[in-house]
Every structure is written in structure tokens, then in C-alpha cells.
Amino acid sequence: MAAKFLIISILDLLLGINFLSPITLVQNSLVKNEVVYLDPKTQNVPFLLPTVETNYFPIRDWGISDPALLARSAILYDLSSEKILFGLSPDSKLPIASLTKLVTAVAVIEHMNLDDVVKIKKSAIDKSTKEGGGNDLYEGEKIKASDLLKLMLIESSNVAAYAFAEHLEEKYQVNLVEKMNEKAKILEMENTFFTEAAGLDDKDSFSTGQDLIKLVKYSFRYGSLYDILKTQKTEVFSIDGILRHQILNTNELLDRLLNIIGGKTGFTELAGGSMVLVTEAPINSSRLIAVVLGSNDRFGDAKKLIEWAAKAYLWK
């Protein structure tokens, strides 16, 4: 009894109400958490406890089992509710291959003018081929930065990533890899480190599914990135109009899955298959972010996660 009166006294002090005098509870809604009290003398409402709107959706149907994936790590995140819908070793530090180019793109957008003309140098081509990448640009070619960004994100051009690094160093005295790691630190990607801009040399580079969710959430502020990432095919030209590049997206899910907002693929022998995929949630007010790392079937795993979420959760 003493404990009961002690609690009431503390409430008296906090709310300025004498709970020992008659007060009538007239409404108590569990849905909105509203509590309204009437003063017994004036019948006026002396205070209204705050209304708290709680969104419990999506709600898991535990009758549906977890998806069987081939990935070493995977995570599925709902942006609206900020819920992790599925996790498979989401904090495992793993190489991420060309998913690196997502943070490269963010750093490029934030530290240079996309109207710049970038000259492709032999050093960028040599670095790509040395690390096991191909050559999709020409030595001496001049190309607009915004078009180079399309090459880097749609077909995952490694030469484009290295050309951006050289251009930023020469024109702006900016070290691209340093800016990438600075951005990771700002975004509290505590288990992430980059050693180069393309993601080819990934012996000492790593990230986690959990960290990549933070990066993707941040990248939504640049809608132009997702306009590029969901482009299935396009073409760009050198500044003089002589050289034409036909670009095909490396994301095979663009014609296999509905409501894709964007995605990025990656693959090296060390990293295996990796993927970031962003789609509309089963209700259009949200987005789903899927990250798959170290998979022998990155497209199958990502597709399986998105389709599983529609069945394993009640959305409204």
C-alpha cells in the first residue's frame, strides 16, 4: 500500500494533479493510447495524455518459414517501419566487389561537377585490366562526367571508377577513396573499409549487409542515382560524338521482377556474387532494401527475399 501511494505522489508532482481527489476516467483507447480526465468540479478537461500512433505493420506470419538462400550474408529491410524483416549473418564483414561503386557514386556527386569533361587515361585502363577487369573505354577519350557515371553504375565499368579517382585528384585535389571512407564513417558504417574505387581489389576491403543498408538509405537523397540504376539499356557518346557506348545493365532482375526502384550488382572471385536491390514494398508507401553477399545465385537470392516478404508479412 505504501508503494502504491508513493507512485501516486510521484505522478502528482509530474502532472500537477491530485490523484487523491475524485477524478473520472472517461476514455482509454488502447489503439491511440489516449487517456482523458475530467475535473469533477468544473467538468473541464484539465489535461490530455499524448496520443501515440503505433504502426505495427508489417506483421510476420510465423507459419511461413525463412527463405533458403545460398548467400553467406543477407538482410532485408523495410524503410517505412525501419524493421529488419530478415537477417542472415548481417554483421559479417565480407568483400562486396562492385557494390563499392554505390559509395563511389555518392562521393563523386558530392565532390565534383557532373558537367565536367573527364579524360580517360591509360593509367585507369591499365589499373582495371591489372586487377582483372575489362576495358570498355578508350585511351584519350573525353566524356561528360554524368555519362561516365552511367557507365560505372549500369554496366559497372571499372575504368570509369578509376577515371573518376584520377579526375578528382587532378582537378579538385580530392582523394576519392579517402572521401569514400569518410562518408562511411559519417554514416556510422563501423564495419566498412574501402581501399579503391571500383571494388576489384577487395583483399583488404569489406563491409556488411547492415552497413550497406545505411548507405542505401543515405543514397536515396540522390534520386538521379536510382534513375540510372533502374535503366535497362542506354547509350552515351564521347564529347566529340565519335565514340558511342551501348550500355546494358548487369542487373538481370530488371525484367524478371516488378516494382524495382534500382539495384547494383557485384562479383569477384573472392567476394562471390553480391547485390543490392531496392523495390517497392507490397504497399506503395514503403521501400524494401535487400542486400545479398557472397552468393552463388545473387539474383535468385535477392528475388527470393522480395517475394518471400510479400507472403511472410501482413502489410496492412
pLDDT value, residue 38: 42
Active site residues: 98, 101, 156
User: Would you state the cell numbers that stand for residue 203, as one nine-digit string?
Assistant: 583483399
Asked whether the bond before 58 is cis by omega within 30 degrees of 0, the reply is yes
Which residue in this structure is represented by grid cell 533502374?
230
User: Which whole-number Å values give the CA distances from 158 to 16, 26, 100, 230, 284, in the listed order?
Assistant: 66, 67, 11, 19, 34
The whole-angstrom separation of Cα 82 and Cα 107 is: 25
At 20-38, the pLDDT tens digits run: 333 333 333 323 333 333 4
Decide if domain 59-314 falls under CATH 3.40.720.10: no
Query: What does the pLDDT profile of the chain (316 residues) look like in tens digits?
Result: 444 333 333 334 444 444 333 333 333 332 333 333 344 444 454 444 444 455 689 999 999 999 999 999 999 999 999 999 999 999 999 999 999 999 999 999 999 999 999 999 999 999 998 776 667 899 999 999 999 999 999 999 999 999 999 999 999 999 999 999 999 999 999 999 999 999 997 889 999 999 999 999 999 999 999 999 999 999 999 999 999 999 999 999 998 998 999 999 999 999 999 999 999 999 877 999 999 999 999 999 999 999 999 999 999 8
Distance of CA 184 to the CA centre of its chain: 12
Q: What are phi and psi of 78, to 5 degrees?
A: -100, 120
Burial 201-235 (b: 16+ CB within 10 A, else e): bbeebbbbbbbbbbbbbbbeeeeebbebbbbeebe
Using DSSP, state whether 245 is helix, strand or coil. Answer: strand
Calpha distance 53→202 (Å, rounded): 45
Q: Give the span between the Cα atoms of 18 and 181, in whole angstroms.
A: 57
Q: Which helix (H) or strand (E) holds 223?
A: helix 223-229
Pinpoint the residues of the chain covered by CATH 3.40.710.10: 59-314
Strands (E), 187-240: 233-237
Closest CA to 290 of 258, 256, 264, 254: 264
